[in-house]
């Protein structure tokens, strides 16, 4: 009679793949029972065995957080840059780092910068408005700009100053001629004079040019050598005129002696052919036939 043979386990087979590569998974292995034979007992125990595997943490790659806001522009005008950044959530357990750029840059404030106006140099001073006695002269300047909304130049565009403050030179000017002087002679030729004066000069001006005095002939009538018949005429104003009948000489005798005038008029009524003549004197006396009344005159007397 054959002896019964119980079943005997063969060795375990290789573990199967883990259900997860990390973070914990399960794997299993199996074995087979050799036997039993001749009504032996079957193998006791598990046919398969399961266990945890890859219980270590899985690698976690880095991941980008949202972008931050753009920073202020580096300039306010003329073109600048502004940046923004983002942060990477760090990898874990051997994960890969974040891929891509952590910072971005862009142009900003590209408009032209305002340029304030700047004064150019002053122009030359203009000619003085007066040669003397204080005039004025001006100069101007212009503003370069402003541009792109800048501020205008501050200050005046023109300048004013006094010039030629010295007193003007005044040339001499002739005043009016004086009246002609009385002729120094009655006849035979003389010279009457007149003069004038110069007003100035002042402050370096030019003196008057020309004559200060001048003369003109007078008393050019020839002195008579014979008697000349004269007629005396009395006026109501008691002014006697001696009028030459045959000559060209006329002389006026002034008197306020009414008695004398009356007697002369009586005399003329009787003797109107009285002869007068010249002598060589410059001052003469007219004498009536009445020696009691003698009147001083100029120029002649009764012969």
Question: For residue 209, what pLDDT is reported?
Answer: 92
Instruction: Write b or e for each residue in 97-131: b if 16 or more Cβ atoms lie within 10 A of its Cβ, otherwise e.
Output: ebeeeeeeeeebbeeeeeeebeeeeeeeeeebeee
235 occurs within a structural domain: yes
Q: Which two tokens stand for residue 78?
A: 């003329």
- What are 76-125's pLDDT values in tens digits? 999 999 999 999 999 988 889 999 999 999 999 999 999 999 999 999 99
Mean pLDDT, residues 58-71 taken together: 93
pLDDT-based confidence at 1, cuts 50/70/90?
Answer: low
Question: For residue 66, what pLDDT is reported?
Answer: 95
- Give percent above pLDDT 90 in the chain: 52
155 occurs within a structural domain: no
Residues in the chain: 303
Question: For residue 289, what pLDDT is reported?
Answer: 33
Show which of 30, 45, 70 is a domain's final residue.
70
- Give percent above pLDDT 70 in the chain: 74
Q: Dihedral sign, CA of 207, 208, 210, 212? A: negative
Question: For residue 109, what pLDDT is reported?
Answer: 92
Show which of 70, 92, 123 is a domain's final residue.
70
Mean pLDDT, residues 231-240 taken together: 35
111 occurs within a structural domain: no
Domain tally, the chain: 2
63-69 contacts at long range (C-beta below 8 A, 24 or more positions apart): 63/88, 63/89, 63/98, 64/88, 64/89, 64/98, 64/100, 65/89, 67/104
- What are 218-227's pLDDT values in tens digits? 988 888 754 4
Question: For residue 286, what pLDDT is reported?
Answer: 38
212 occurs within a structural domain: no
- What are 126-172's pLDDT values in tens digits? 999 998 999 999 999 999 999 999 999 999 999 999 999 998 889 99
Question: For residue 270, what pLDDT is reported?
Answer: 34
Beta strand pairing call for 48-53 and 25-30:
antiparallel
Question: For residue 151, what pLDDT is reported?
Answer: 93
Question: For residue 252, what pLDDT is reported?
Answer: 36
**DSSP secondary structure string for all residues of 49-109:** EEEEE--SPPPB--EEPPPPPPPPPS-SSS-EEEEEE--EE--BTTPPPPPS-SEEEEEE-
3-state secondary structure of 195: strand
Do 13 and 29 meet the contact criterion of CB atoms below 8 Å apart? yes
210 dihedral zone (left: phi>0; alpha: psi -120 to 50; beta):
left
269 occurs within a structural domain: yes
Mean pLDDT, residues 27-46 taken together: 90
The residue among 287 and 7 whose pLDDT is bigger is 7
> Average pLDDT of the chain?
77
145 occurs within a structural domain: no
Mean pLDDT, residues 294-299 taken together: 34
Task: Output the domain CATH number for residue 9.
Answer: 2.20.100.10
169 occurs within a structural domain: no
pLDDT-based confidence at 21, cuts 50/70/90?
Answer: confident
Question: For residue 225, what pLDDT is reported?
Answer: 59
> What is the domain extent for residue 293?
228-302
Question: For residue 49, what pLDDT is reported?
Answer: 92
Mean pLDDT, residues 45-60 taken together: 90
First to last CA, the chain: 238
Show which of 43, 70, 97 is a domain's final residue.
70
17 occurs within a structural domain: yes
The residue among 52 and 279 whose pLDDT is bigger is 52
The residue among 274 and 217 whose pLDDT is bigger is 217
């Amino acid at each position: 009679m054959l002896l019964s043979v119980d079943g005997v386990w063969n060795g375990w087979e290789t573990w199967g793949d883990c259900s997860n590569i990390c973070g914990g998974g399960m794997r299993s292995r199996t074995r087979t029972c050799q036997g039993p034979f001749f009504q032996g007992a079957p193998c006791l125990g598990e046919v398969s065995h399961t266990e945890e595997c890859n219980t270590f943490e899985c690698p976690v790659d880095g991941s980008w957080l949202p972008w931050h806001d753009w920073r202020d522009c580096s300039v306010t005008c003329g073109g600048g840059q502004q940046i923004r950044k983002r942060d990477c959530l760090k990898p874990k357990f051997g994960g890969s780092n974040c891929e891509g750029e952590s910072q971005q840059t862009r142009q900003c404030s590209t408009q032209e910068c305002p340029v304030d106006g700047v004064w150019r140099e002053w122009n030359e001073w203009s000619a003085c408005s007066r040669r003397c006695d204080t005039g004025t002269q001006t100069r101007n300047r212009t503003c370069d700009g402003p541009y792109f909304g800048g501020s205008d130049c501050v200050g005046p565009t023109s300048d004013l100053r006094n010039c030629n403050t010295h007193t003007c030179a005044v040339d001499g000017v002739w005043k009016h001629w004086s009246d002609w002087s009385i002729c120094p002679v009655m006849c035979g030729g003389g010279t009457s004079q007149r003069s004038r004066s110069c007003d100035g000069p002042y402050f370096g001006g030019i003196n008057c040019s020309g004559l200060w005095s001048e003369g003109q002939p007078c008393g050019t009538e020839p002195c008579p050598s014979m008697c000349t018949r004269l007629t005396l005429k009395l006026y109501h104003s008691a002014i006697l005129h001696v009028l030459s009948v045959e000559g060209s000489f006329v002389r006026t005798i002034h008197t306020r002696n009414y008695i004398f005038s009356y007697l002369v008029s009586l005399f003329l009524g009787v003797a109107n052919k009285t002869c007068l003549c010249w002598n060589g004197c410059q001052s003469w006396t007219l004498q009536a036939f009445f020696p009691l009344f003698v009147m001083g005159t100029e120029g002649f007397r009764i012969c």
